[in-house]
Amino acid sequence: MLGKVYKQYKESLSGLSKEVWILSGLMLINRSGLMVVPFLALYLTEELQFTLIQAGTAGMWFGIGSLLSSLLGGYLTDKYGFARIMKFSLLAGGLSFWSLVTAKTFIGFCSLIFVTALLADLLRPAIMSAIAIYSREENRTRAVSLLRMAINLGIAVGPALGGFLAAKFGYDWLFIINGGSAILTFIIFISVHPTMKKRKIPDEVKVETNITARTAYTDYNYLWLILIMFLVVVAFLQILFAIPLFFKTVYGFTEQMVGFFFTLNGLLIVVFEMPIVNYYEKQRKFYKPVIFGGLLMAIGYLSLLIPASGSSLLWLIPFLIYTLTIGIGEILNLPFFNSLALARSNRRNSGSYMGLMTFTFSLSFTVAPLIGSFIIDGYSFDALWIVSTFLCLLSVALFVLLKDRFLISDQYK
C-alpha cells in the first residue's frame, strides 16, 4: 500500500522541467513569509480597533488592488516578459509591505493595502506565464499543481510562525517578515534567472479540440465556466477573512491556533494534491474533480453549523470536518478549473484565458471579505456558512447542467 502511494507520488513529480522546479522553489520562499493576509481581519479589528465593516472594506481594497494588478500584470508580462515583471513585483511589493507598518488610520491603511496588492500581485500572471512556457501540454496541470504545492507548503510555514510572532512580539513583525521574504525571493531570482533565460520547452503532445474562439472574451462557454468558478471561489475565500474571526470569537482560538489551522490546511494540500492531480490528469478527467471538490466545500461550510463551544472539545468535530473537506475540496476543484482554461486555449490566446481566470480570482478576493463582513455584522456567522454552502452547491449544479458546453474534446471527460 505504502509502496503504491510512494510510486504514485514519485510519478506525479517526474517529467517536470528544471525551470518549473526553480519557479516553484521561489514561490515557496516567497509564500513562507506570507503572514499578513491570514491575520489581516484580526489585526484590523483588535490592533487598530477598526469595526468589522471597516475591516471588510480594507480587505475589499486589497482585492481591488489585486483585481487591477491581474489586468495590468497580464499586459505588462506580454509586453516586457515574465522575468522583468517578477523582479519588479517582488522588490516593489516587498517594500510596500514594509510601509504598511506606518498605516494606523482607516484611510491610510486602505490606501497602502491597495498599493501593496497592486504591486505584489503583478507576480501572479507573470509566474503563470512562465509556467506555461516551461511546461508541456501533457504535464501542465501537474506543473501548476507543483507551484500550488510550493505555495501551500510556504503557507503551512508562514501562518504558524506569524501566529507566534503576533502573540509574542506584535503584529508589525508580520509586515516586516512578509516584505522581507519578497525581497529575499527577488535577490535569489536575479541570481538564478540567467540559467533559465533562453530555455523554452515546446509542446510535445497536441490535443485536437473543438474550440474555435480567438480569445477568451469571445468564448462564451468559457465565460459561463468563469462565472461558475467565481461562485465557488467567493465561498472558498471566506477561509481567509471570516474563518480566522470565527475560530477566535466562537471557538476561542489564540493566534497560534489560527496559524496552526492554516498549517494543517497547507500540509494537507502538500501531501495529497500532486498524486490526486496526477491520477485525474493521466485519465483526462477534468470534470469529475470539479464536481466532487465543490460538494466537499459545501459539506465543509455546512459542518460549521454544528453547535460547539470554545470551552469544551465539541469544536473539534466541525473543525476537523471543515479542515479535511475544504482542503480536499480545494485540491479537486481549483486546479482543474485552471486545467480547463489551459485546455481551451492555445499559445496564441493563452494570455487572455489565464488573464481572465486570474482576474476572476482577484474579483472574488474583492467581493468575498465585503460579503462576509456584511453578513456576519448584519446576521451571524451561521448565516454566512449557509450562504457559502449555497454558493458551492449552485456552482456544482450549474457546472453539471452546462457540462456539455465545456466539452473540449473526446479525450477529456
pTM for this model (two decimals) = 0.74
Other residues' Cβ atoms within 10 Å of the Cβ of residue 228 = 23
pLDDT, tens only, 207-263: 445 555 566 777 788 888 889 999 999 999 998 888 988 888 888 888 778 878 888
pLDDT computed for residue 142 by the predictor: 76
- Rounded CA-CA distance 282/176 in Å is 43
Among 238, 381, 252, 222, smallest CA distance to 315 is for: 252
Domain residue ranges in the chain: 14-197+216-406
What radius of gyration, in Å, describes the C-alpha atoms of the chain?
Answer: 20
- Rounded CA-CA distance 3/40 in Å is 42
**Dihedral sign, Cα of residue 347, residue 363, residue 245, residue 330:** negative
- Rounded CA-CA distance 320/336 in Å is 25
Other residues' Cβ atoms within 10 Å of the Cβ of residue 260 = 18
pLDDT computed for residue 1 by the predictor: 47
pLDDT, tens only, 7-49: 666 666 677 788 888 898 888 888 777 777 777 777 888 888 8
Look up the CATH number of domain 14-197+216-406: 1.20.1250.20
pLDDT computed for residue 206 by the predictor: 47
The mean predicted confidence, pLDDT, of the chain is 81
Residue type for 110, please?
C
pLDDT, tens only, 350-402: 666 777 787 888 888 888 888 998 899 889 999 999 999 999 999 999 998 88
Residue type for 71, please?
L
